[in-house]
């Protein structure tokens, strides 16, 4: 149907997806970075996004479990270590602190109880469905598509920069501890994505494979977007919190009646 | 932690979940049944819900694939046949028409192109994530929990009656053809759920199994609810349609900009 694209055309087609539908375009992020959200709304975001953070290593290990090539597995392992960290209990080497722990420093700084965050109790069900869809995707599709789905990292550095600047400008909770996750990702993401992009550009040999890679990347932008839709619906507008989900102290639970 | 409930207490605890969080409580359904939605919004609902309908036989076959007992499989098979139907091409025995075909008569009546509906192109990604979570759940949890997750059928007849009455009262598209899915389910659901409820009440022998069954039923209500949250957010309020999703003819696509 479609013809095989050149490496440059294929690269441009991948980038065009981010241009069109990466979640930096979502109104929730614009409110978040623009200083328009109340603390409880930001808590809801950080609490839900925590499930994404803790699921990323499971996603990457699922990908690795499908790789035949030890060199490829060694290269991919860094992503798991970035999230899980290299510290043992009691060790205090800051550079070894992983992304999950850094995210918990953000939820600490927002006044959320760590045990509550880690319990995953107040999650929006839609967060769980979207994130689990990612882990299932990389298990159920080809390795090439699994790698392609990671390429939203192409677009991440600019949203992280925007977030760091927006948080520093607008929110009292912004400090070295709460921002450390995003600062660290500014270094890590470009390194990861260079590898993933090269892999995809090199290993998509047919027009069909290229099409599947583009679909995989679109799928990934959709699941990022869906997480923000659910947050926006529950905590911004129309502010209908689903039964059982986290209720910020500055909000009332939504009452539903027949 | 908790004690084993009597059969009657356990039954009451299952019903209490429906009382508290079945999706008849969701504002989208109240608008839908109350005649407050425009045709395009109802199209969006029917289009998205179609993915749920076509996934139900896959869900039930996944459950059946885990059953050791032929008698149990024979009993469960009826659900698949109810959705898939018993007709061959060209045959015109109305009683043999399955739920999927009946749902397509609803989307026909709403003016949607069948090929478009069946292509699943316009779906909200959140619909796909929630529905796929259901199929994955019955694969990844115990058979008992899988059966328990089906027990939202306990609460379905009253929403179907409400829907039939509301559609007839409020919408020009309501007729024997577009309502035939719901009328048929009024007969089928009570028969199915009697079997499933008895199975769960009889086979949850420990407090932990009862707890897991309650959690499974809550999970099911959450995925039904999340589908309506996504529809409400995209097509009612704040009416932010995600990139790539169905745009009714009476709406503009949402423009997102940086």
- Contact call for B229 and A225, based on CB within 8 A: no
Residue B238 sits at the chain A interface (C-beta within 8 Å)? yes
Q: Which whole-number Å values give the CA distances from A190 to A143, A163, A164, A183, A187, in the listed order?
A: 21, 17, 17, 12, 6
**What distance in Å separates the CA atoms of residue B107 and residue B172, rounded to the nearest whole number?**
14
Among B21, B132, B242, whose Cβ lies nearest the Cβ of A225? B242
Tens of pLDDT, residue by residue, chain A (258 residues) = 579 999 999 999 999 999 999 999 999 999 999 999 999 999 999 999 999 999 999 999 999 999 999 999 999 999 999 999 988 766 678 888 999 999 999 999 999 999 999 999 999 999 999 999 999 999 999 999 999 999 999 999 999 999 999 999 999 999 999 999 999 999 888 888 899 999 999 999 999 999 999 999 999 999 999 999 999 999 999 999 999 999 999 999 999 998
Measured between beta carbons, which residues in chain B are less than 8 angstroms from residue A240?
27, 229, 232
What is d(CA A103, CA A110) in angstroms, rounded to the nearest whole number? Answer: 11
CB contact A225 to B (< 8 Å)? yes
DSSP assignments along chain A, one per residue: -PPPPPHHHHHHHHHHHHHHH-GGGSHHHHHHHTT-S-HHHHHHHHHHHHHHHHHHHHHHHHHHTT---HHHHHHHHHHHHHHH-SPPTT---GGG--HHHHHHHHHHHTT--HHHHHHTTT--HHHHHHHHHHHHHHHHS-HHHHHHHGGGGGTHHHHHHHHHHHHHHH-TT-STTTTHHHHHHHHHHHHHHHHHHHHHHHH--SHHHHHHHHHHHHHHHHHHHHHHHHHHHHHTSS--PPTTS---TTSPPPP---
In terms of residues, how long is chain B? Answer: 258
Instruction: Please state, in angstroms and as integers, the Cα–Cα distance from residue A214 to each residue in A198, A201, B24, B121, following that order.
Output: 14, 11, 38, 15
- The verdict on B31 touching A (C-beta cutoff 8 Å) is no
Q: Which residue of B has its CA nearest to A222?
A: B125
CB nearest to A129's CB, from B133, B234, B243: B133
The pLDDT score that the predictor gives to residue B123 is: 98
What pLDDT is stored for residue A1 in this prediction? 59
A130 vs B: CB within 8 A: yes
Q: Do A240 and B226 touch (CB under 8 A)?
A: no
Q: Are B26 and B225 in contact (CB under 8 A)?
A: yes
Chain B 174-203, residues with CB within 8 Å of chain A CB atoms: none
Q: Are B191 and B119 in contact (CB under 8 A)?
A: no
Cross-chain CB nearest to B223 (options A24, A125, A229):
A125
A229 touches chain B (CB under 8 A): yes
B218 interaction partners in chain A (CB closer than 8 Å): 244
The reply to whether ipTM tops 0.90 is yes
Residue B255 forms contact with A (CB below 8 Å): no
Structure confidence at residue B90 (pLDDT): 66
Question: Are A226 and B125 in contact (CB < 8 Å)?
Answer: yes
Q: Is the pLDDT of residue B156 over 80?
A: yes
Q: Are A186 and A130 in contact (CB under 8 A)?
A: no
User: Nearest Cβ partner of B27 from A24, A128, A240?
Assistant: A240
Q: Which residues of B222-245 are buried (b: 16+ CB within 10 A; e: fewer)?
A: bbbbbbbbbbbbbbbbeebbbbbb
Domains along chain B with CATH numbers: 9-235 (1.20.910.10)
Q: How far apart are CA A208 and CA A51, in angstroms?
A: 33
Determine contact: A24 vs chain B, CB below 8 A.
yes
Q: Taking the CA of residue A190 as centre, how many other CA atoms within 13 Å lie in the half-sphere pointing to its CB?
A: 10
Contact A237 B232 (CB under 8 A): no
Which of A21, A233, A239, A257 would best serve as a mutation to test chain B binding (most B beta carbons within 10 A)?
A: A233
How close, in Å, is residue A175 to chain B by CA atoms? 26
The answer, yes or no, to whether residue B146 has pLDDT greater than 70, is yes
CB-CB under 8 Å, A20 with B230: no
Question: Which one of A124, A137, A224, A243 would you mutate to disrupt binding with B, by most B Cβ within 10 Å of its Cβ?
Answer: A243
| Residue B91 to chain A, least CA–CA distance (Å) | 36
Q: Which residue does chain B place closest to A126, by CA atoms?
A: B226
Among the listed residues A144, A151, A150, the one whose alpha carbon sits nearest the alpha carbon of residue A68? A144
* C-alpha–C-alpha distance, residues A98 and A84, integer Å: 5
pLDDT grade, residue B89 (50/70/90)?
low
Contact A228, A26 (CB under 8 A): yes
The answer to whether the beta carbons of residues B147 and B196 sit under 8 Å apart is yes
CB contact under 8 A, A128 and B133: yes
């Amino acid at each position: 149907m479609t013809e095989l694209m050149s490496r440059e055309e294929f690269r441009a087609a991948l980038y065009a997806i981010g241009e069109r539908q990466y979640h930096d375009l979502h109104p929730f992020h614009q409110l978040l970075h623009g200083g328009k959200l109340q603390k409880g709304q930001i808590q809801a975001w950080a609490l839900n996004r925590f499930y994404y953070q803790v699921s990323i290593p499971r996603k990457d290990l699922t990908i690795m479990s499908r790789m035949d090539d030890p060199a490829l597995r060694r290269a991919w392992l860094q992503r798991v270590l970035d999230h899980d960290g290299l510290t043992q209990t009691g060790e205090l080497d800051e550079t070894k602190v992983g992304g999950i722990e850094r995210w918990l420093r953000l939820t600490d700084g927002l006044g959320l109880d760590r045990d509550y965050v880690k319990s995953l109790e107040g999650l929006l069900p839609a967060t769980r469905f979207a994130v689990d869809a990612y882990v299932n995707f990389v298990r159920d599709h080809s390795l090439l598509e699994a790698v392609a789905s990671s390429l939203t990292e192409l677009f991440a550095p600019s949203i992280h920069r925007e977030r760091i600047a927006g948080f520093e400008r607008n929110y009292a909770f912004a400090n070295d501890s709460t921002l450390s996750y995003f600062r660290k990702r500014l270094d890590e993401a470009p390194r990861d994505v260079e590898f993933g992009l090269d892999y995809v550009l090199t290993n998509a040999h047919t027009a069909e494979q290229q099409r599947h890679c583009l679909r995989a990347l679109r799928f990934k932008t959709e699941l990022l977007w869906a997480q923000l839709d659910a947050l926006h619906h529950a905590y911004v507008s129309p502010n209908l919190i689903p039964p059982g989900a986290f209720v910020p102290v500055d909000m009332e639970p939504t009452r539903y009646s027949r």
